[in-house]
């Protein structure tokens, strides 16, 4: 009897641990498709699981960091969802590709047209973002998840270094080191264009030179042909006169 009671108590304890730990894994998160390199552009997915058995997720609001604003944010269309991109004025304008940007995206909102994310399912919300900042290792977003029963869950708590994960952690996008391709892309393109122009000019000069040479050769051969023809006629006339005199 003791053994069976101990086993039963152990099973209850184990199930309790699972129940308590499950929400920590089922939270709104963000991950890049591939890499999210500093100074570059990336496609990122906000993954939203439905944590309720009796309600669907019908709305997701993602707030963007204002300390590292992103000038370019483009959502991918998703069947069954409307998307709204909100922009705001920047306190300090950004400079991208030689142009000053005075506003940036501060929030993206997805609202379900139909059933939304039903119990037992999750949904990914893709965004193309950039240019990613070069002076930080991560971007922290704040997300608000709304259910069909009007319940709201705020995924906005920051993760403190050395501390346990909070109950409702904010999605964090880790940034990788910038690759050489990201830094040298513009210079390489300019050099390649210059090299192509030089090669094209050389080919044109060579072709023109070859054409001039061919024209000169043709003219010389034509003149030689005329001279040979005239000489042949003259020789024939002289030979005819000699036969007549003979």
Per-residue pLDDT of the chain (246 residues), as tens digits, is 545 555 554 444 444 333 333 444 579 999 999 999 999 999 999 999 999 999 999 999 999 998 899 989 999 999 999 999 999 998 877 776 677 888 889 999 999 999 999 999 999 999 999 999 999 999 999 999 999 999 999 999 998 888 888 999 999 999 999 876 554 443 333 344 444 544 544 554 554 455 455 555 555 455 445 544 545 545 454 445 555 455
The predicted model scores a pTM of 0.63
> Rounded distance, CA 170 to CA 157, Å?
5
pLDDT at 91: 81
Beta bridge pairs of residue 89: 103
Q: How far apart are CA 130 and CA 127, in angstroms?
A: 10
Strand extents, DSSP E, the chain? 29-32, 42-49, 57-63, 72-75, 81-96, 99-112, 122-130, 138-140, 142-147, 152-155, 172-174
pLDDT number for residue 226:
54
Q: Provide the pLDDT for residue 162.
A: 84
| Under 8 Å between Cβ of 94 and 104 | yes
Question: What DSSP designation does 178 have?
Answer: P
| pLDDT number for residue 96 | 67
Residue 93 has what pLDDT? 79
């Amino acid at each position: 009897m003791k053994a069976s009671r101990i086993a039963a108590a152990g099973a209850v304890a184990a199930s309790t641990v699972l129940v308590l730990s499950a929400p920590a894994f089922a939270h709104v998160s963000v991950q890049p498709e591939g890499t999210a390199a500093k100074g570059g552009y990336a496609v990122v997915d906000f993954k939203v699981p439905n944590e309720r058995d009796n309600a669907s997720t019908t709305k997701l609001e993602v707030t963007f960091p204002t300390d590292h604003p992103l000038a370019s944010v483009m959502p991918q269309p998703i069947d069954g969802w409307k998307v709204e991109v909100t922009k705001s004025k920047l306190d300090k304008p950004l400079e991208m590709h030689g142009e000053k940007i005075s506003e940036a995206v501060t929030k993206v909102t997805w609202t379900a047209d139909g059933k939304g994310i039903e119990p037992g399912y999750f949904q990914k919300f893709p965004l193309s973002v950039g240019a990613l900042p070069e002076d930080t290792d991560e971007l922290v977003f704040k997300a608000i998840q709304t259910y069909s029963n009007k319940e709201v869950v705020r995924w906005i708590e920051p993760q403190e270094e050395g501390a346990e994960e909070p109950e409702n952690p904010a999605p964090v996008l880790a940034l990788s080191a910038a690759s050489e391709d990201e830094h040298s892309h513009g210079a390489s393109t300019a050099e390649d264009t210059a090299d192509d122009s030089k090669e094209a000019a050389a080919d044109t000069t060579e072709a023109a030179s070859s054409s001039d040479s061919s024209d000169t050769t043709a003219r010389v051969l034509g003149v030689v042909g005329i001279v040979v023809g005239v000489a042949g006629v003259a020789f024939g006339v002289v030979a005819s006169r000699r036969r007549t005199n003979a």
